[in-house]
Chain A
Amino acid sequence: MIPNWMNQADVQPCHCSTVSHGKKGFVGKTIDGILGFLDEAFLSETFSRRPGLLQSLDPRAKLVSILALIFATSLIGDLRVLVFIYALTLLLSYQSKINIGFFVKRVWLFIPIFAGIIALPMIFNIFLPGDPLYIVAYLGAGAHLGPFSLPDSIFITRQGTMAAIIFTVRVAACVSAVVLLFLTTPQQILFKSLRTVGVPKIYVLTLQMAYRYIFLLMDMVREMYVAKKARTIRSRGIMDDQKWVGGRIGYTLVRSLSMSEKVHMAMMSRGFSGEVHIMQEFKMTNRDYLYGALAISISLVLVMISQNIIRV
C-alpha cells in the first residue's frame, strides 16, 4: 500500500541539540494572550462561587443596587465622598472574599487607558484656565499653533489637576462597582438578571450565546495555531505568518457563520420559534430586600449630597 520512499525508517541517532533561546513569534504571543484570558475567566468564575457577601445576594438585588450606586457616583463632585465610595467597594470586595490585590489590579489596569487619556488634557491651562501649579513651558507673547493662539506660558493648573483627580476617582469607583458585580456573579446568571432592568429577552439570549461561543471560537483558534505549529518544520517569515493569520481569520468567519446556522437549526428542531422563554429561578429573600433598600438609600443620600441638599 505504501510507496517505496515511505517504506523505510531513518535509524540514525539525532546529532543535534537544543540551543536556541529567543523571542516568541507574534502568533505565539497572541495565543498566550488568549490562554491568559481563559485563565482569567476561569479565575473570575471561582470568585463567583465563593461564600461571600455579594455572592449570597439575589443577582437582581445586586444588579439594581450596583446600577443605583453607579448612577449616584456619576453625580458626585466631592473628592472625599468619591474616595469614601471607592473605599466602600474595597470593603465589599473584602467581604465577598475577593483578593484585594487582584481586584485593585483589575480595576486600575483600565483606568489609565480610559480615564487617563480623557483627564490628562484637563490639567493644562490650554483647556481649563486656573491658578498655576507647575509651569511646563514659557512660550512668550503671541505664540500660536497653526490657527490656534496659545497662552504666554503652558502650566498645570490647580483646578484642572483637582478636576482630573475627581474624574479619575469617579471612574475608578464606578469601574470597581461593575467589576464587583462581574466577579461575584456567574456570567449566565448575570445575563439572566439583566431581564429585571428591562433588557429584552432576545438580547439576553444573544448575550448568553455570544459569551458561550467566544470560548468555543477561542479554543478553535488555539487548536489551529497548535496544529500549524505541529506542521511547521522551519520558521517562516513574518509575511508568511501574516498571510496564514489572514487566511485563518477568514476561515474562522466562515466556520462561525456555518456554526451559527447549525445552532439555529438545532434550536428550531428543539421547538424554538423566535419567542424566547428563559427559566426564572431567582428568589428574593428579606435579606435581599434589605441590602437592596440599603444600597438605594446610600445612592439617594449621595444624590442629595451632589445636589447640595445634604452638606458634608
Chain B
Amino acid sequence: METLFDLKNVSYSYVGKINALKDVTLKINRGEQVSIIGSNGCGKSTLLAILDGLVYPTSGQFYAFGNLVNEDAFDAIADNEFRTYFRTKVGFVFQNSDVQLFCPTVYEEIAFGPLQLNLSAEEVRSRVEDVLEMMQIAKLRDRSPHTLSGGEKKKVCIATVLVNNPDVLLLDEPSAGLDPRTQLWLVDLLVELGRAGKTVITATHDLEIIDQISKRAIIMGEDHQVKMDHDSKSVLSNYELLLSANLVHEHTHLHGKMVHEHLHFHGKAHEHHFDKDKN
C-alpha cells in the first residue's frame, strides 16, 4: 500500500518552549482508517495540523505524497503544483467549528471549496445540493453560519470539507458536542467513507467510536510521544495502557465496544469487571 504521510522524528513546540509533540515517527498508508487517541493536551490536534501542512515540525521531517512539506512551499504567495494537489486531496475538519466557517451563508460556505477546483457552475451546484442532502442540512442553506447551533455548525464544517471529495480526511474531535443520534450518524458516515477507499484519520478521546471508525489506533501519551501504534481492538483491550495514557479512570470498564463507569464508595473496595474479565 502506498505511504501517504511519513513523519520522521517530528517534534513541535509552541513559542519554542511548550512541547506539543516529541520525536514522533509514523507512517500512514492510502485507504487506512486511523484513530489518534490521547488525553487533553497530548498533541493530537498539533499532529493533525502537521498532517494538514498547517504548522511545520520544529524538528524532524514530514513527507506527504512523497514530498517534503515545509514552510517555503506551503506559505508562499505564489502557487505551486504540489500545494494545490495537497489541498485538493486532503480535507481537515477543525475542532472549533466557528473558526472554519467564514462565508455569509451556509450555501456559499459549502460552495467555497468546489469553486476553487475549477468545476463548472452546474457541477458546483449539483455537488453542493448533494452534500446538503447527505448531511441533512438543506433547510439551513440560507442561514448565516454564526446563527447555527453547535451540532449544526459541525455538520456544515464536515459538509464544507466533503464537498471537495478529498481522498484523505482529517477530523479533530468530530463527535465532541454532538447529540447521540448525530454521533451515530457521523460514525455511519465515516464507516461509509472508509469503505469508499478514503483515508480517514480521526483524533478523539471518545473510546466508544474508535473500533467502529478505525482499524488502527495510535495512542499519544501525556509525554507527547506515541505510546502505542497497533490495531484498534488490541489497543482498546490494553486497559493498563489506556489507564497510563489517562484515557480511562480506574472505575471505567470496557466490555467489548461498551465503555462505562461504576458508582463507587470511598472506603469500600471496588470489584473491577476488568479483573473478572481477565480471570
Whether B146 sits at the interface, judged by CB under 8 Å, is: yes
A197 to chain B, nearest CB (A): 32
Interface size, chain B (Cβ < 8 Å): 62
A8 to chain B, nearest CB (A): 6
A98-126 vs B, Cβ < 8 Å mask (1 yes, 0 no): 00000000000000000000000000000
Contact A228 B102 (CB under 8 A): yes
Given A42-B15, A231-B160, A233-B116: A18 in contact with B30 (beta carbons within 8 A): no
For A9, give its contact among B17, B31, B94, B102 (CB under 8 Å).
B31
Which of A168-176, A186-194, A219-227, A288-296 has 4 or more CB atoms under 8 Å from chain B?
A219-227
Q: When chains A and B are docked, how far (Å) is the Cα of A8 from the Cα of B195?
A: 9
Whether B219 sits at the interface, judged by CB under 8 Å, is: no
Whether A269 sits at the interface, judged by CB under 8 Å, is: no
Residue of B at shortest CB range from A14? B65
Task: List residues of chain A with CB within 8 A of the CB of B192.
Answer: 1-2
For chain A residues 1-27, which have a beta carbon within 8 Å of chain B?
1-3, 5-11, 13-14, 16-25
Contact A11 B197 (CB under 8 A): yes
Most A CB within 10 A of own CB, among B2, B49, B83:
B83
B15 to chain A, nearest CB (A): 5
For B87, give its contact among A10, A35, A233, A251 (CB under 8 Å).
A233
Contact B81 A19 (CB under 8 A): yes
Contact B82 A14 (CB under 8 A): yes
Given A1-B188, A10-B89: A20 in contact with B76 (beta carbons within 8 A): yes
Whether B180 sits at the interface, judged by CB under 8 Å, is: no
For B79, give its contact among A5, A10, A38, A235 (CB under 8 Å).
A235
Contact B196 A223 (CB under 8 A): no
Task: List residues of chain B with CB within 8 A of the CB of A7.
Answer: 196
Whether A272 sits at the interface, judged by CB under 8 Å, is: no
Contact B127 A19 (CB under 8 A): no
Task: List residues of chain B with CB within 8 A of the CB of A1.
Answer: 134, 188-189, 192
Given A20-B72, A42-B17, A226-B49: A9 in contact with B167 (beta carbons within 8 A): yes
For B102, give its contact among A19, A25, A224 (CB under 8 Å).
A224
Contact A232 B116 (CB under 8 A): yes
Whether B263 sits at the interface, judged by CB under 8 Å, is: no
Whether A244 sits at the interface, judged by CB under 8 Å, is: yes
Q: When chains A and B are docked, how far (Å) is the Cα of A3 from the Cα of B114?
A: 15
B240 to chain A, nearest CB (A): 36
For A11, give its contact among B30, B67, B82, B146 (CB under 8 Å).
B30
Task: List residues of chain A with CB within 8 A of the CB of B85.
Answer: 14, 16
B122 to chain A, nearest CB (A): 13
Contact A17 B100 (CB under 8 A): no
Q: When chains A and B are docked, how far (Å) is the Cα of A25 from the Cα of B83?
A: 15
Contact A230 B196 (CB under 8 A): no
A21 to chain B, nearest CB (A): 5
Contact A223 B99 (CB under 8 A): yes
Contact B130 A227 (CB under 8 A): no
Contact A233 B117 (CB under 8 A): yes
Q: When chains A and B are docked, how far (Å) is the Cα of A224 from the Cα of B31?
A: 29
A104 to chain B, nearest CB (A): 21
For chain A residues 108-159, which have a beta carbon within 8 Å of chain B?
none
For chain A residues 24-64, which have a beta carbon within 8 Å of chain B?
24-25, 28, 35, 38-39, 42-43
A246 to chain B, nearest CB (A): 11
Task: List residues of chain A with CB within 8 A of the CB of B167.
Answer: 9-10
B90-114 vs A, Cβ < 8 Å mask (1 yes, 0 no): 0010101011101000000000110
Contact A3 B130 (CB under 8 A): yes
Whether B165 sits at the interface, judged by CB under 8 Å, is: yes
Q: When chains A and B are docked, how far (Å) is the Cα of A167 from the Cα of B268?
A: 76
Task: List residues of chain A with CB within 8 A of the CB of B78.
Answer: 20, 22-23, 235
Q: When chains A and B are docked, how far (Å) is the Cα of A255 from the Cα of B79?
A: 32
Task: List residues of chain A with CB within 8 A of the CB of B94.
Answer: 223, 227, 230
Task: List residues of chain A with CB within 8 A of the CB of B75.
Answer: 24-25, 28
Contact A16 B99 (CB under 8 A): no
Q: When chains A and B are docked, how far (Å) is the Cα of A192 from the Cα of B223?
A: 36
B183 to chain A, nearest CB (A): 15
A231 to chain B, nearest CB (A): 6
Task: List residues of chain A with CB within 8 A of the CB of B102.
Answer: 224, 227-228, 244, 247-248, 251
Q: List 7 A-B contacts (CB under 8 A).
A: A2-B192, A20-B83, A21-B76, A24-B77, A230-B94, A231-B160, A247-B102
Sample of 10 further A-B pairs with CB below 8 A, known A2-B162, A18-B73: A2-B193, A5-B130, A16-B81, A19-B73, A21-B72, A22-B77, A23-B77, A39-B15, A231-B87, A233-B88
The 3 A-B residue pairs with the shortest CB-CB distance, nearest first, are: A20-B80, A9-B197, A22-B76
